[in-house]
Amino acid sequence: MDVLAGFVSRCASKFKLDFLWDNRYRKPLPTMPRLTRRRNRSRSRDSSFEYKRRRSDYYEDSRHRRSRSRSRSCDRRRRDHDHYHDYQDNSYRDRSYTPQRDRWDNQKHSRSRISRHYDESDNGSHYQSRDSSRHSRNRYQRRRRRRSYRHHRHTTFSSDTSKDESEAGPRVVDDEEGHLIYQPGDVLQARYEIVSTLGEGTFGKVVEVKDMQRNSERLALKIIKNIEKYREAAKLEINVLEKLRAKDPDGQFPCVNTIEWFDYHGHVCIAFEMLGLSVFDFLKDNHYIPYPIESVRHMAFQLCYAVNFLHENQLTHTDLKPENILFVNSDADVTFNPRKKRDEFVVKSTDIRLIDFGSATFDHEHHSTIVSTRHYRAPEVILELGWSQPCDVWSVGCIIFELYTGYTLFQTHDNKEHLAMMERILGSLPYRMVKKTKKTKYFYKGRLDWDSKSSSGRYVRESCRALERYLRDPENPDHRDLFDLINQMLEYDPTERLTLKQAMIHRVFDKYQVKPEGETSKDGDRERSHSLSR
């Protein structure tokens, strides 16, 4: 062996044999160029992912092979969903999957796995080893939980439930828009049994319920979405309703009566008296046939009476429209029109209630720039000149016109077109308002910058005319008096606009005035009290 070793060393000194074991002298074999598809190349080939391959090799061990086997996507989604709720709240636990069941299954395939127990001191948030602290759990499980939490935090809308209730019945779940998922027959607060859905809006839903504590009396329950901004808006509405009820405990004013409110697993619920159709829905169901003049007069007086009550308490409704005026009872007499071959309805009772105080604003509160639904929006709001109670008066004037004619006075969705319709119906805007506004893009040299020859201009010219020309019976003094009231309510300048207190003593409402003997006003006329009965 010594002789052989000496021979090799002598050869190495005379000949370069490093190519036998040194890669620096190895030439690559000639091969065809290979097209690489970077688009489909896995990032796991990168050297930065070496630690993940080592960890993956560990978890591909036989002890973990079964727990990491691939399943259907819907099953994985369901498992992750249940796991997320176990991680978040013990009350959401699915009976078909529990941490203990998962531990038993895994112990069947891993004798060396460390036994775990549920850590009660951690509010059900983690599993903790008996032999080590929860901070020494493997990083893989922690990361998987974080991924599951991030995923479900944006896709799950489940209401908060108590542990006792989840064991007693099905858990409370919301849909993807935040609405409470319910079925007819469900009972809320062990008091309100859901009968049917009455309506739905951006705020939530209104359902008909039976109050089991009041001889199954039918009520309307407004269920707000389980979303923070709608909850806050509902609480503002509740604050307004409670203050109005304190001012009017006997319910003399035609505002909706509230029974109670409560929080149902994140959903603010408000119970109201059961009312009929809105004046708009009745009008729509009746083929937009206008109301009789007597019905219009009675509803207009009640509306002025209700909104004036708000104004006297330093409150502006800001969202007056026919949809927010409901009949107490919308039963109607039906007559057949042989000329048009259709049934027509005449409501039996025109008693109304004002609803939806979610946008009501007190005088001392912040006033947002834009308020009111478009068709009933006052010019000072459009021009951003600031607003107060007179903007409600403008809305009331538009509503009375709609009840009288059957269609909207300002049917538009554009600010400049809206102003053009106003000028077409009511005359030019006052120069002082034009000069004061910051919306200079609407005007040129103090006048509305409007092209009457455009398609929008033709629409305004053809669909709008002077206010007096909308009279159904120009010779009838009742009709003329009603339009005189509307004209004073649609005064451009809010400082010169008629107040609702003044509107209530307008001659069109003489029928609803009672003059007590011996009481006179400052101008010599008898002081009037008001009666809501027809």
Binding residues: 222
How many other CB atoms are found less than 10 A from the CB of residue 144?
A: 12
Cα separation values, 175 from 21, 74, 78, 159, 179, Å: 69, 18, 16, 10, 6
Count of C-beta atoms within a 10 Å radius of residue 404: 24
Give the integer Cα–Cα distance in Å for 374 and 382: 9
How far apart are alpha carbons 214 and 191 in whole angstroms? Answer: 9
| 304: DSSP letter | H
Tokens of 234: 């509902």
Quote the radius of gyration of the chain (alpha carbons, Å): 37
435 Cβ neighbours under 8 A, 6+ residues apart: 446
SS3 call for 416 = helix
Paired with 443 in beta bridges are 448
Structure-block tokens of residue 144: 């998987």
Helical (H) or strand (E) element with 418: helix 415-426
Q: Phi/psi of residue 513, each to 5°?
A: -105, 140
| 105 in catalytic set | no
Residue 98, C-beta contacts closer than 8 angstroms, at least 6 positions apart: 86
**Residue 193 near residue 185, CB atoms below 8 Å:** yes
- What are the DSSP E strand ranges found in 103-238? 116-118, 127-129, 187-188, 192-200, 204-211, 217-224
In angstroms, rounded to a whole number, what is the distance separating the alpha carbons of residues 81 and 302? 53
Residue 262, exposed/middle/buried by CB under 10 A (0-12, 13-18, 19+)?
middle
- Residue closest to 269 by CA, chosen among 230, 303, 306: 230
Residue 243 main-chain phi, psi, to 5 deg = -70, -35
Give the Å distances, CA to CA, from 82 to 88, 95, 102, 144, 254.
Answer: 10, 10, 12, 14, 50
Q: Write out the two tokens for 159.
A: 């209401």
Q: In sequence order, what E strands does 338-475 have?
A: 342-347, 352-354, 361-362, 443-444, 447-448
444, 450 Cβ separation under 8 angstroms: no
Residue 80: which of 156, 148, 127 has the closest Cα? 148
* Contacts with 496 (C-beta within 8 Å, 6 or more apart), sequence order: none
**Which of 86, 174, 211, 319 is the catalytic position?**
319
Annotated binding site for ATP: 222
The catalytic residues are 319
